[in-house]
């Protein structure tokens, strides 16, 4: 921590708040505005409230949170596309932003001409663009299509060209908003490798993404924005784990009491978990298709009847599986020293890290107890397969009259 404190601050955000007007029936024409003045009703919608954080030079920081929490708004404030209602933002150095890819592209001009236009928006001079244009074209992989009008490009080609321009601007600070999923899988890998290269060169990076894999791969620290404020800031792995636990319970966290956010806490604090394979070996790394036996022993004094819901969530927050067990409709008696046993006949997950969540549900489907996560595991797959789950598939070819 002392090493970080000695670093130079690249971005300083102090007590920033931002709201937008939300119109219910806004008139757009002058006639509508004059004749129907009473229709122009709006309410102020606050996105960020008194947010403060520092980002240090050469550091990579992720911004995470639910849709609409203010991540993209924060990036637009850093680029000065919009300005805060209150507070201050200080950004030191040249900024390149990958927010709205292709903004400023002219459909009737060629890809080559649009490189010059788009790069000039980022502040590059003609001589600088001349020196980099071959590298930009090569990175985009457009080849002979570079001299065609961009209106003839597919959406993937369009986005690749825009990304290639933005990523090849030498900047002190790079702001990236949910656009690393550009093109096919090989081009996405190429983009991530380029981000890593930029990071090693000492560029400060701020990344917004819903892919927790990308966040953990790129970012040194992470900022979780929730309900207009910062819920957590710190080491990426720790913040991501808190965020995934929150998302695993469907984002149910707060009610308002006396103007303050209050957590409805049904978390089961006292329990033990054991995970075994068929030979009763306790482990955390599993192979695809293995049998799993899970024992959860409760150590708290509450005594309730409840159904049990088990969920499996991937590292990036995607829910892989959920099932409710109701013990033939009567529920399970959960009390001190009772042991709940879950059996998975075949762990049909492909390579990755996964979290197991447990929820106790009453007859009205309210959550009355939860352990999130109660375990995290790594799955390895000896066969080259892609995706999230394993299907038992076979391939064969029957002989036909033509090849007999």
Q: Where are the domains of the chain?
A: 271-380
3-state helix, strand, coil split of the chain in percent (to 5) is 25, 35, 35
Six token digits for residue 60: 């990579």
Beta carbons of 89 and 166 less than 8 angstroms apart: no
Q: Quote the pLDDT of residue 12.
A: 94
Among residues 253, 257, 250, 276, the alpha carbon closest in space to that of 266 is found at 253
Element of type H or E holding 12: strand 9-23
Q: Quote the pLDDT of residue 377.
A: 87
Six token digits for residue 247: 């998302």
Among residues 105, 161, 108, 106, the alpha carbon closest in space to that of 133 is found at 161
Q: Inform me whether the pLDDT recorded for 319 exceeds 60.
A: yes
Six token digits for residue 332: 């399970």
271-380 fold: Coagulation Factor XIII; Chain A, domain 1 (2.70.50)
CA separation for the pair 245, 266 (Å, rounded): 13
- Residues sharing a CB contact under 8 Å with residue 378, sequence separation 6 or more, in sequence order: 284, 285, 286, 352, 353, 354
Q: Quote the pLDDT of residue 252.
A: 43
Beta carbons of 224 and 65 less than 8 angstroms apart: yes
Residue range 368-390: average pLDDT?
82
CA separation for the pair 133, 113 (Å, rounded): 10
Q: 126-140 and 111-121 helices cross at what angle (nearest 10)?
A: 120
Model pLDDT for residues 66-98, shown as the tens digit of each residue: 877 888 899 889 988 889 999 999 999 888 877
Q: Quote the pLDDT of residue 52.
A: 94
DSSP per residue over 369-404, as a string? EEEEEEEEEEEE-SS---SSB-----------GGG-
Q: In this prediction, what percent of the chain has a pLDDT beyond 70?
A: 82
pLDDT band at 26 (very low <50, low <70, confident <90, very high): low
Element of type H or E holding 355: strand 352-361
Six token digits for residue 108: 């009737």
- Residue 50, sorted as left (phi over 0), alpha (psi -120 to 50) or beta, turns out to be left
Cα separation values, 86 from 45, 49, 226, Å: 15, 9, 19
pLDDT band at 248 (very low <50, low <70, confident <90, very high): low
pLDDT band at 222 (very low <50, low <70, confident <90, very high): very high
225 φ/ψ angles, rounded to the nearest 5 degrees: -100, 130
Q: Inform me whether the pLDDT recorded for 261 exceeds 50.
A: no
Q: Quote the pLDDT of residue 100.
A: 67
């Amino acid at each position: 921590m002392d090493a970080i404190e000695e670093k130079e601050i690249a971005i300083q955000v102090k007590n920033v708040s931002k709201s937008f007007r939300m119109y219910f029936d806004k008139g757009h024409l002058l006639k509508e505005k004059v004749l129907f003045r009473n229709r122009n009703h709006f309410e102020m919608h606050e996105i960020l409230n008194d947010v403060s954080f520092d980002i240090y030079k050469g550091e990579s920081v992720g911004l995470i949170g639910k849709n609409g929490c203010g991540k993209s708004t924060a990036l637009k404030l850093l680029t000065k596309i919009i300005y805060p209602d209150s507070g201050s933002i200080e950004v030191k150095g040249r900024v390149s932003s990958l927010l709205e890819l292709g903004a400023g592209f002219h459909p009737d001009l060629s890809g080559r001409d649009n490189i010059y236009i788009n790069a000039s928006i980022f502040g590059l001079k003609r001589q600088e663009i001349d020196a980099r244009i071959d590298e930009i074209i090569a990175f985009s992989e457009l080849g002979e299509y570079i001299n065609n009008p961009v209106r003839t490009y597919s959406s993937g080609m369009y986005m690749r060209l825009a990304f290639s321009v933005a990523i090849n601007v030498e900047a002190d600070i790079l702001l990236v908003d949910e656009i690393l999923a550009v093109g096919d899988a090989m081009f996405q890998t190429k983009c991530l490798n380029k981000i890593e290269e930029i990071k090693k060169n000492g560029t400060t990076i701020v990344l917004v993404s819903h892919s927790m894999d990308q966040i953990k791969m790129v970012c040194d620290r992470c900022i979780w924005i929730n309900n207009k404020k910062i819920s957590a800031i710190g080491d990426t792995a720790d913040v991501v784990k808190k965020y995934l636990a929150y998302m695993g319970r469907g984002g149910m966290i707060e009610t308002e009491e006396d103007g303050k956010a209050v957590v409805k806490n049904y978390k089961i604090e006292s329990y033990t978990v054991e995970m075994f394979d068929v030979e009763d070996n306790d482990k955390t790394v599993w192979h695809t298709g293995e049998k799993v036996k899970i024992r959860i022993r409760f150590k708290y004094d509450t005594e309730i009847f409840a159904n049990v819901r088990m969920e499996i969530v991937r590292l990036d927050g995607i829910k892989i599986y959920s099932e409710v067990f109701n013990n033939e409709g009567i529920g399970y008696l959960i009390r001190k020293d009772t042991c709940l046993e879950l059996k998975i006949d075949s762990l049909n997950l492909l390579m990755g890290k996964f979290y197991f969540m447990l929820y106790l549900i009453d007859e009205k489907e309210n959550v009355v107890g939860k352990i999130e996560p109660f375990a995290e595991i790594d799955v390895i797959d000896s066969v080259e397969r892609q995706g999230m789950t394993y299907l038992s598939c076979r391939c064969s070819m029957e002989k036909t009259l033509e090849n007999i």
